[in-house]
Structure 1
Amino acid sequence: MDTTDLSIFQLIVAYVFVLILMVILKRRGIPREKEVLIATIRMTVQLILVGYLLAYVFDHSHPLYTVLIIAVMEIFSIFNILKRVKSVLSTRLKRIIAISMLGGTLASLLYFLYVVIQLTPWYEPRYFIPIAGMLIGNSMTGISLGVSRLNDGIRGNRAAIETALMLGATPKMAARTIVNEAFDAAILPTINSMVGMGIVFLPGMMTGQILSGSSPLLAIEYQIAIMLGILGSVSLTVILFVQLGYRTFFNRYSQLVID
């Protein structure tokens, strides 16, 4: 089966959906037209630039290019997490966010590429970059949710935590419930996505493979593997964050310290 190419005209016609949203927002009096317009322009420009970049990288496969692109992905994801979280974050907590993202995503990515799909050569960009993007992107969302829930939870339950500390609890014991709630909130979107996958919706990667002419069964095999890799990456990055992150709210004397 040949892939159906989209002409420029067909692509432009797809922007009708943006116009529909703009009309709805205008009629409902919701002031988000500017945001939608900016988001649409940014998406279009960014994807076009990435498309040309990936076309070059795929044609000139080199480990340096792959490593540089992964580094940019990681840096941008960390920056995006810090930008998303509206509450105040300490310098130590920001450092933990970076460590958790790098450690969790890279460990999961390397395991997935070398053990699960056994990629050769290791830097093959056609596999390395798209898979890295999915793992890093989902982990970024998970960490963002975990950061907000942990930070707000500890700040909002300051009195209860300090009471527990005065009664002899360790910081780990005093913050246990908040840490568990932060972890649960962070992984829930991934679990919900897995529950509805295949019945409620077809994932983007699977849809792309089918549209490109791949067998649906092959697409399913890859999608199952990718989804399990995403689950592992999100779980690992979030557990690293919450386990290390809550400690930044306490000093060496086990006292709660909030900047």
Structure 2
Amino acid sequence: MNGGIIDIELARLIAAYLFVLVLLFIVKIRKISREKQITIAAFRMTIQLIIAGYILTHIFENPHPLLTLLIILIMEVFAIRNVFKQVKETLSKEMKKIITLSMLCGSLASLFYFNLVVIHFSPWYDPRYFIPIAGMIIGNSMTGITLGVRTLLQGFGAEKAKIEGALMLGAEPKIAAKPYVDSAFDSAVLPTINNMLGMGIVFLPGMMTGQILSGVSPLLAIEYQIAILLGILGSVSLTVLLFILLGYKTFFTKDSRLKE
């Protein structure tokens, strides 16, 4: 036991990887070519979390505002880089700039608002609060904007003729692009909404489960979870809105024609 929490010894932690071995065996038998991806994902997850654990331990013991902000910046850089990698279509420099701007403005605005106004911990840069909350907000914003970018690009690619037809009939780019902009927003936000609909009935979210396991009152854990979920919803929505409102314009010329 460690402060009321059951300590998972190394041998039992290693036993958890048995599920990965079983999964690899099943995938191999079924001839599904995912062994490499599963192995790399499990290995990277383990290494990254171990490194993160040592780094966070040092930061928690030596809190400093510049160090906290540096960690947030690194998280943003990696999140934006992952968006670029996850989107298979070629992204223009202008589109990459818009994705970067949307991620930074949307996630950071939500992060600072919920940290400084809603939760209001002191000091404001306390890494024990700031960094985990930032991870949840930035991570979900990354997933949301990735889905939004994919859907918007696929919509414009598959429905080019319809968009050009609407423009020829006199529609402004904003009107011609509206169905695909709306679809991009829906695909980005719906996973977050579905998670919210199922919480408390279908499953308990990770943050709340962790707090309860550490001995925190379920009611206090619920207060934190509600605040974080609303922060995530706001961050994803704001990030994706910024992207689609600026991003769709990159598909049109200044004289309102669809680019090749």
TM-score (norm 2): 0.97
Which amino acid in structure 2 is aligned with residue 48 of structure 1?
A: I
Read off the aligned partner of 2:15 and give its amino acid letter: V
The equivalent of 2:115 in structure 1 is: 113
- Distance in 1, matches of 2:34 and 2:183, equals 32
For the pair 1:124 / 2:126, whether they are aligned, the reply is: yes
1:227 aligns with 2:232: no
Percent identity between matched residues is 63
Deviations 1:68-90, CA, capped at 9 Å, x for gaps: 10001100000000100011221
Deviation, 1:95, is 0.7
1:20 to 15, 19, 22: 22
- Gap runs ≥5 in structure 1: none
Correspondence for 2:88 among 86, 89, 103? 86
1:95 aligns with: 97
Give the AA of the match of 1:18.
Answer: V
**5 Å matches for 1:51-66?**
51-66=53-68
Structure 1 position 198, deviation (Å)? 1.2
Where 2:88 maps in the other structure, the secondary structure is coil
* Match runs of 1:233-244 below 5 Å: 233-244=235-246
C-alpha distance in 2 between matches for 1:218 and 1:29: 47
1: CA distance between counterparts of 2:169 and 2:34? Answer: 50
After TM superposition, give the deviation of residue 166 of structure 1 in Å: 1.5
Quote the Cα distance in structure 1 between the aligned partners of 2:44 and 2:162: 44
3-state SS of paired residue (2:204) = coil
Q: Tell me what 1:43 maps to.
A: 45
Q: Which residue among 60, 71, 78 is the counterpart of 2:73?
A: 71
The residue number in structure 2 matching 1:186 is 188
Cα deviation, 1:177-198, whole Å, max 9, x if unaligned, reads 1100110111010011111111
1:75, 1:214 → 2: CA distance?
Answer: 33
Instruction: Quote the offset at 1:119 in angstroms.
Output: 2.1
- In structure 1, what is the Cα distance between the partners aligned to 2:191 and 2:166? 31
- Quote the residue 1:173 is aligned against: 175
- Cα deviation, residue 23, structure 1: 1.6
How many residues are treated as equivalent by the alignment?
Answer: 258
Give ranges in structure 2 of 5+ residues lacking alignment. Answer: none
TM-score, structure 1 length as denominator? 0.97
One-letter amino acid matched to 2:144 = G
Q: Verify: 1:137 aligned to 2:166, yes or no.
A: no
Q: Aligned partners of 1:26, 1:155: CA distance in 2, in Å?
A: 35
SS in 2 for 1:175: helix
